[in-house]
Amino acid sequence: MTIRKPNIGPSDDPLVDLLSHRPRRLRRLPGLRRLVRETILTPADFIYPLFVVHGTGVERAIESMPGQAHRSIDRLPAVIDAVVAAGVPGVILFGLPAAKDAAGSENFAADGIVQQAIRAIKARAPELIVMTDVCLCEYTDHGHCGILGVDAHGHGPIVLNDATLPVLGRVAVSHAAAGADVVAPSGMMDGMVAAIRGALDEAGHADVAIVSYAAKYASAFYGPFREAADSTPQFGDRRGYQMDPANRREALREMALDADEGADVLMVKPALAYLDVIAAARDAFDLPVAAYNVSGEYAMVKAAAARGWLDERASALETLLSIKRAGADMILTYWALEASAWLAEGRDDVG
Ligand code: PBG
């Protein structure tokens, strides 16, 4: 038997002369491509973000995020039914309070907008996983993710880390008491996971999980969300607490700390410009990894598609696939419903 050497190109031996490596063989037919596909998206990968507001009969389109809306509680059942029908396992809630103040009081009010929404969703679809974003920025009049104060020299205002922790614990307990399954602290305060774990356990909510926005970068890609959530800081920026986009080792350190403090899932945010961080997280930790396909990643494809410059379906699915391929176990995405419908079409390029 002659063994063909894996050579490409001319040789004296007519057998060796054959082109023996032909990766295209397995790309020839849709069935072959499906058999060798390494990453497969399913609706079970997605978590759908929802924005809830006070009032009745409100379903107001969010201009910066085409296809997304502000909804009052009475408008939730229809979208919740759609999420369940799509096979998407969970939602994450963001609330717009009736009034903002320095401490963000509605954040931990029993009848706060998020607490009402949790109860309404659990009443409609008890099996649907309800996650909540635990942060101050949508509730504070200054738009920062913590309590403001001055430093040891009287300089400020700055976001006070340790004074913010009990507030985050209180918010998480209030969400848990309303029926949330998962809380997701997004404020990048040091020790936030430990503070929330402690507060939840003490209040009898040991079974509520924490998905920590562990590696959250100070990113330009949150722009459309800040319009949607009315959470733009009124002065300065978030670079004193969110991570520097230049740093990857630091992300691993942030994630190690959060894992140590009791995080059940580690999140990287944004996703697309940080695929290397998602991949590093996957390698370094056994915990599930979540990735947030943020508002700017969504809006830029929507905007280009609206001009006919990109095919939205193909671009969105390719984006989501890349996030999963990088190592994410779950993806928070505004495309959750549309992507599930596209996947159900069963075309041969992703499923
Ligand atoms: C903070 C929070 C933000 C997002 C989720 N949680 C905004 C921020 O940190 O400024 C951004 C989500 C997105 O852009 O889609 N509560």
Has 269 been annotated as catalytic? Answer: yes
**Cβ partners under 8 Å of residue 276, min gap 6:** 248, 326
**Cβ partners under 8 Å of residue 265, min gap 6:** 209, 210, 211, 212, 287, 288, 289, 290, 329, 330
Has 5 been annotated as catalytic? Answer: no
Mean pLDDT within 13-20: 66
Q: Tell me which of 5, 100, 216, 324 is the catalytic residue.
A: 216
Of the candidates 231, 276, 285, 225, the one whose C-alpha atom is nearest the C-alpha of residue 253 is 285
Which residue's alpha carbon is nearest to atom 11 within ligand 1? 222
Q: For residue 14, what pLDDT is reported? A: 56
Q: How far is CA 322 from the centre of its chain?
A: 15
Of the candidates 164, 110, 90, the one whose C-alpha atom is nearest the C-alpha of residue 134 is 164
Q: Distance, CA 272 to ligand 1 centroid (Å)?
A: 15
Ligand 1 in contact with 295 (CB < 6 A)? yes
- In this predicted structure, the answer to whether residue 8 has a pLDDT above a threshold of 70 is no
**DSSP labels, 223-256:** HHHHHHHT---SSS-STTTSBPTT-SHHHHHHHH
- Which of 134, 183, 222, 332 best tests ligand 1's pocket when mutated (most atoms within 8 Å of CB)? 222
Q: For residue 103, what pLDDT is reported? A: 83
- Which of 212, 213, 225, 238 best tests ligand 1's pocket when mutated (most atoms within 8 Å of CB)? 225
Q: For residue 13, what pLDDT is reported? A: 62
Mean pLDDT within 151-159: 93
Q: For residue 141, what pLDDT is reported? A: 92
- In this predicted structure, the answer to whether residue 27 has a pLDDT above a threshold of 70 is yes
DSSP letter for 187, please: S
Q: For residue 17, what pLDDT is reported? A: 55
CATH classification code of 40-343? 3.20.20.70
- The first and second tokens of residue 200, run together, are 């939840």
Q: What is the pTM of this model?
A: 0.94
Average pLDDT over the chain, rounded to an integer: 94
Ligand 1 in contact with 293 (CB < 6 A)? no
Which residue's alpha carbon is nearest to atom 14 within ligand 1? 222
- In this predicted structure, the answer to whether residue 165 has a pLDDT above a threshold of 90 is yes
Task: Report CA dihedral (283, 293, 132, 138) to the nearest 10 degrees.
Answer: 130
Mean pLDDT within 105-124: 97
Any idea which of 99-103, 210-214, 342-346 has the lowest mean pLDDT?
Answer: 99-103
Q: For residue 20, what pLDDT is reported? A: 85
What's the N-to-C CA distance of the chain in angstroms? 40
In whole angstroms, give the CA distance from residue 265 to residue 255. Answer: 10
Which residue's alpha carbon is nearest to atom 16 within ligand 1? 135
Nearest atom in ligand 1 to 334's CA: 15
Ligand 1 in contact with 133 (CB < 6 A)? yes
> Phi, psi at residue 183, to the nearest 5°?
-115, 145
Q: Apex CA 208: angle with CA 229 and CA 74, to 5°?
A: 45
Q: What is the pLDDT of residues 168-202, one digit of tens each?
A: 999 999 999 999 999 999 999 999 999 999 999 99
Ligand 1 in contact with 186 (CB < 6 A)? yes
Alpha helices in the chain (DSSP H): 30-36, 76-86, 113-124, 161-178, 192-202, 223-229, 249-261, 275-284, 295-306, 312-326, 336-344
Alpha helices in 134-235 (DSSP H): 161-178, 192-202, 223-229
Burial 292-318 (b: 16+ CB within 10 A, else e): bbbbbbbbebbeebeeeebebbebbbe
In whole angstroms, give the CA distance from residue 213 to residue 182. Answer: 12
Q: Distance, CA 333 to ligand 1 centroid (Å)?
A: 12
- In this predicted structure, the answer to whether residue 350 has a pLDDT above a threshold of 90 is no
Q: For residue 153, what pLDDT is reported? A: 95
% pLDDT > 70, the chain: 95
On whether the CB atoms of residues 218 and 239 are closer than 8 A, the answer is yes
Of the candidates 249, 107, 250, the one whose C-alpha atom is nearest the C-alpha of residue 188 is 250
HSE-up of residue 258 (Cα within 13 Å, Cβ side) = 35
pLDDT band for position 274 (cuts 50, 70, 90): very high
125-129, 142-146, 239-243: which is most confident: 125-129
DSSP letter for 146, please: S
SS3 label, residue 215: strand
- In this predicted structure, the answer to whether residue 258 has a pLDDT above a threshold of 80 is yes
SS3 label, residue 323: helix
- In this predicted structure, the answer to whether residue 214 has a pLDDT above a threshold of 70 is yes
On whether the CB atoms of residues 171 and 93 are closer than 8 A, the answer is no
pLDDT band for position 301 (cuts 50, 70, 90): very high
Q: For residue 227, what pLDDT is reported? A: 84
Mean pLDDT within 138-148: 93
The domain segmentation of the chain, as residue ranges, is 40-343
pLDDT band for position 348 (cuts 50, 70, 90): confident
Mean pLDDT within 99-117: 94
Of the candidates 32, 142, 46, 30, the one whose C-alpha atom is nearest the C-alpha of residue 336 is 46
Task: Report CA dihedral (84, 134, 41, 120) to the nearest 10 degrees.
Answer: 0
Any idea which of 76-85, 231-240, 316-325 has the lowest mean pLDDT?
Answer: 231-240
Q: For residue 159, what pLDDT is reported? A: 93
Ligand 1 in contact with 168 (CB < 6 A)? no
HSE-up of residue 25 (Cα within 13 Å, Cβ side) = 5
On whether the CB atoms of residues 50 and 129 are closer than 8 A, the answer is no
- In this predicted structure, the answer to whether residue 6 has a pLDDT above a threshold of 90 is no
Mean pLDDT within 72-94: 98
